[in-house]
Structure 1
Amino acid sequence: MKQGKIYLYNQYVGLLTEDETGFTFAYDADYLASDGAEAVSLTLPLSDEPYHDTVLFPFFDGLIPEGWLLNIAESSWKINQRDRMSLLLACCKDCIGAVSVIPAEEPPIEETNSSNVEGSNASPQN
């Protein structure tokens, strides 16, 4: 089983799991109860119920590099390009945008108040 902790603006939002039946994404209950909770994707709206699929959810698959960057990732980490979860865990710890995917066995990233992050899209600049 492979698991990745999903962060949005450096705040833990849920857990993505791959097992023999497919993929599951579940939002964290504390995150759902927090003020200002927002979905990681329009295709994965906030829900108490976990999402299940036999293939990696398109939103997460879209975070994986393509083209020559994918070739570099495959050769550097010796990961088959059909092993989408391993590629996601290896390549998307600090990807462009608000979402990060951290292998479950690694320590959590430091959570920050997104309104205090310089250049953050979370709050308008005046």
Structure 2
Amino acid sequence: MRKAEVYRNGVLAGILTEENRNSYRFVYEEAYFMDTQLPAISLTLPKVKREFHSPILFPFFFNMLSEGVNRKLQSLQLKMDEEDHFGLLLETAQFDTIGAVSVKPID
């Protein structure tokens, strides 16, 4: 099982967990969920409930990954399986992301 903290503009928004390659969970942190001034991290993960489950890596997080040649290069540099989407997310979405969301591994 691998876990990551999900931040929106530097504020801890929730925890993303890969239970196995066919089971993913995202849970909003209680304080983030209760604060009505803080927006959902994505339209597909609305703050109408705290916990979400999916048999695939949530599309919002999958779309944070590089594609094509860039993914191949990242996989080679990181010595990772190109199909290890969660692993690539943990390694590449910690810094310098395009949007307001970053993902940091939990050891």
Tell me whether the two structures share a fold, i.e. TM-score over 0.5: yes
Amino acid at match of 2:2: K
Output the CA distance in 2 between the equivalents of 1:38 and 1:97: 14
Tell me the distance in 2 between the aligned counterparts of 1:43 and 1:82: 23
What letter is aligned with 1:15? I
Query: Can you list the C-alpha shifts for 1:46-66, whole angstroms capped at 9, x where unaligned?
Result: 144310011000000000111
Aligned residues: CA RMSD: 1.2
Q: Which runs of at least 4 in structure 1 moved beyond 2 Å after TM superposition?
A: none
> Which has more radius of gyration?
1
The corresponding residue for 1:4 is: 4
Q: How does 1:1-126 map to 2 (within 5 A)?
A: 1-20=1-20, 22-94=23-95, 95-105=97-107
User: How many aligned residue pairs are there?
Assistant: 105
Q: Is the 8 A contact 1:43 1:59 kept in 2?
A: yes
Q: Which amino acid aligns with 2:101?
A: V
Matched residue type, 1:77:
L
Confirm or deny: 8 A CA contact 2:16 2:24 kept in the other structure. Answer: yes
- 1:117 maps to none
Which amino acid letter does the alignment assign opposite residue 7 of structure 1?
Answer: Y
Q: Which runs of 5+ in 2 are unaligned?
A: none
The higher-RCO structure (CA 8 Å, 6+ apart) is 2
Distance 1:67 1:92 in 2: 17
Question: Structure 1, unaligned stretches of length 5 or more?
Answer: 106-126
TM-score (norm 1): 0.78
Paired with 1:89 and 1:38, the residues of 2 have a C-alpha distance of 23
| Deviations, residues 79-114 of structure 1 (Å, cap 9, x unaligned) | 112111001001111211100000012xxxxxxxxx
The alpha carbon displacement at 1:76 in A equals: 0.8
